[in-house]
Amino acid sequence: MDGAERLVQLVRRSPVLVALREGPLDRRDLERRLDVSKPTVLRATGTLRDFGLVERVEGQFRLTAQGDVVATALDRFRRVERAASRLSPFLATTDYEVAVEHFADATVTTRKPGDPYRPVRRFMSLVESTDRLRGFDAATIAPGNVDTIYERIVGGMETDICYPEHVVETIVESSPERSTEAAQSGNLTLRVVDSVPCGLALFDDHVGLGGYDPETGALAVFVDTDDEAAYAWGEREFERYREDATIVVGE
């Protein structure tokens, strides 16, 4: 059996490997857990035993040390594949390297015919319920929501954001009085970076990703999750851009 065929067999048998990651199981346990027949379990475990990934001890199947490594890798692959499918509207807008496996259960909000502002509304719903907002962005949000963000900042929302210089200029020029008020509130830290690949926002307990329409610059998709691993990844990404940014307001 060549490497490609072996890989195909492993992917087909991956539910058995993933099930055994939780501990040894007998044949009947596997049948119930996977909702498959006795012959299916016997064929799968037979193949995996031939590969040296599973062994049978006292009537129960369990992973070998090699099997545990392979099962972990296959479990991650399945999670990445599921997450990549879910995030496909966002991934189509950027080549940004995202830890997609942490977004497998994310909420994905896209524009709909007759309702182009669904992603913006989702973003704003999180803005309105957070006490702290951090991140970076490639564009300003819809003009109709800028006042709400200014009001939240002046009202006490701690905000630390990185923008490309042209975006900062657009914000200031479009609403100079509001910009001054937000800057003087003491709640805003505004940083300038050369460029960013998309939008990333850290709320109190959610991390969000924004993808923009390359033709119009409008927010086309917003992805958010409260997954702890995703949030930690988002914080690391924010700090990476934050370190190279120049402060223009705050601190």
Report, at the CATH architecture level, how domain 3-80 is classified: Orthogonal Bundle (1.10)
Distance from the Cα of residue 192 to its chain's centroid: 24
Using CA atoms, how far apart are residues 117 and 18, in angstroms rounded to an integer? 40
Integer CA distances (angstroms), 176 to 140, 183, 186, in order: 15, 10, 17
Label the pairing between strands 132-136 and 158-164. parallel
Q: What is the pLDDT of residues 25-66, one digit of tens each?
A: 999 999 999 999 999 999 999 999 999 999 999 999 999 999
Per DSSP bridges, beta strands 207-212 and 60-63 are unpaired
186: its two tokens: 């003491």
Reference 151, options 119, 128, 118; nearest CA is 128
Q: What is the pTM of this model?
A: 0.80
> pLDDT for 176-189, tens place per residue?
788 888 888 999 99
The superfamily (CATH) of domain 88-249 is Endonuclease Chain A (3.30.870.10)
CA distance 47 to 43: 6
Domain boundaries, the chain: 3-80, 88-249
Contacts of 171 (CB under 8 A, 6+ apart): 140, 146, 163, 179
